[in-house]
């Protein structure tokens, strides 16, 4: 089985990289980009039957820093 | 005073840290990241660098290494620990210090000497300074933008656990925080490099008081 982990900075945590991308898009002439948040996707190739609970523990312990990041598990 | 300096793949300030500790009178051993035991030491130093290539997040992989389990045991027993730069990131990733270090607000790697204010002299690390002193220490980091939730920031301030603040907040840190202490004041994490400021030959001795104070206190512990 495969799962994608979407890791994003939590709402309210300033994302300087997303801000820089937003500025760049504006400078390129793309109007109306009100905000950009940049995160990452971690693609896991897992043994069949791995529980969502186990995946969540992976996220909590390593894949996301929950002080500043939130995560969403997408099982494919 | 016995000290151990942890070496991860990608550490690059480990030898400077050992030199600074030895110059202050410490007996220093180096500990490889795969070692599950650190031995009987008073202080564990987590040096700067780019452990594990900063993969995933700065310090995240290092925080899961065998030596960091030994580091946690050392701290749980009341041992002292000092994390500088990447070492600070490792200490936050292990949960030994609160908060997190994010990408610098200006997005640039900053490598220069910056003014710092000593925010408290109430710790083994900062007793050689006077609160309110301004010192200059080198910084060299891309991810030194300290952040924590409002309750944590309040607690750090209320419990006098901010060790150093930036005079010029070049990286966007909350409350200008450059270094923080643990609740028992025995763990210090800081982004600036005191170990790079211990010899006039290389420009500054502003970091010497930190190592001397530490050795002095732990020699009598």
- Taking only the tens of pLDDT, chain A with its 76 residues reads 999 999 999 988 888 889 999 999 999 999 999 999 999 999 999 999 999 999 999 999 999 999 999 999 999 9
Q: Which of B92, B98, B103 sits opposite A16 (nearest CB)?
A: B103
Q: Going along B33-107, which residue ranges are E strands?
A: 43-46, 80-84, 100-102
Q: Where are the domains of chain B?
A: 2-219
User: Which CATH number fits the domain that encloses residue A42?
Assistant: 3.30.1280.10
In terms of DSSP bridges, do strands A40-45 and A2-9 run parallel, antiparallel, or are they unpaired?
antiparallel
Q: What is the pTM of this model?
A: 0.94
Of B58, B85, B93, B176, which is the active-site residue? B85
Give the count of beta carbons closer than 10 Å to the beta carbon of residue A17. 15
Q: Which domain holds residue A68?
A: 2-75
Give the count of beta carbons closer than 10 Å to the beta carbon of residue A29. 6
Q: What is the pLDDT of residue A12?
A: 85
Contacts of A68 in chain B (CB under 8 A): 100, 102, 147
pLDDT in tens, B110-165: 999 999 999 999 999 999 999 999 999 999 999 999 999 999 999 999 999 999 99
Span B2-219: which CATH code?
3.40.50.880
ipTM of the complex: 0.85
Q: Which of B99, B103, B106 sits opposite A67 (nearest CB)?
A: B99
pLDDT in tens, B16-72: 999 999 999 999 999 999 999 999 999 999 999 999 999 999 999 999 999 999 999
């Amino acid at each position: 089985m495969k799962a994608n982990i979407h890791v994003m900075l939590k709402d309210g945590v300033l994302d300087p990289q997303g801000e820089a991308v937003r500025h760049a898009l504006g400078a390129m002439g793309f109007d109306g980009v009100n905000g950009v948040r940049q995160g990452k996707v971690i693609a896991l190739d897992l043994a069949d039957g791995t529980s969502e609970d186990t995946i969540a523990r992976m996220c909590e312990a390593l894949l996301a820093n929950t002080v500043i990041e939130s995560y969403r598990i997408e099982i494919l | 005073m016995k000290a151990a300096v942890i070496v991860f793949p990608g550490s690059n300030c480990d030898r400077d840290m050992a030199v600074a500790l030895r110059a202050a009178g410490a007996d220093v051993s180096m500990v490889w990241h795969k070692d599950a035991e650190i031995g009987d030491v008073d202080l564990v130093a987590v040096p700067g660098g780019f452990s594990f290539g900063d993969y995933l997040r700065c310090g995240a992989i290092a925080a899961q290494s065998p030596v960091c389990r030994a580091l946690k045991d050392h701290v749980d027993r009341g041992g002292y620990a000092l994390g500088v730069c990447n070492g600070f990131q490792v200490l936050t990733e292990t949960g030994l210090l609160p908060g997190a270090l994010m990408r610098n607000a200006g997005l640039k790697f900053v490598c220069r000497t910056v003014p710092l204010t000593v925010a408290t002299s109430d710790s083994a690390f900062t007793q050689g300074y006077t609160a309110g002193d301004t010192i200059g220490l080198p910084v060299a980091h891309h991810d030194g933008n300290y952040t924590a939730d409002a309750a944590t920031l309040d607690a750090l301030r209320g419990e006098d656990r901010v060790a150093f603040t930036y005079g010029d907040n070049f990286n966007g840190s909350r409350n200008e925080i450059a270094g923080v202490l643990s609740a028992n004041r025995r763990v210090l994490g800081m982004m600036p490099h005191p170990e790079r400021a211990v010899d006039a030959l290389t420009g500054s001795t502003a970091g010497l008081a930190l190592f001397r104070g530490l050795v002095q206190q732990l020699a009598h512990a």
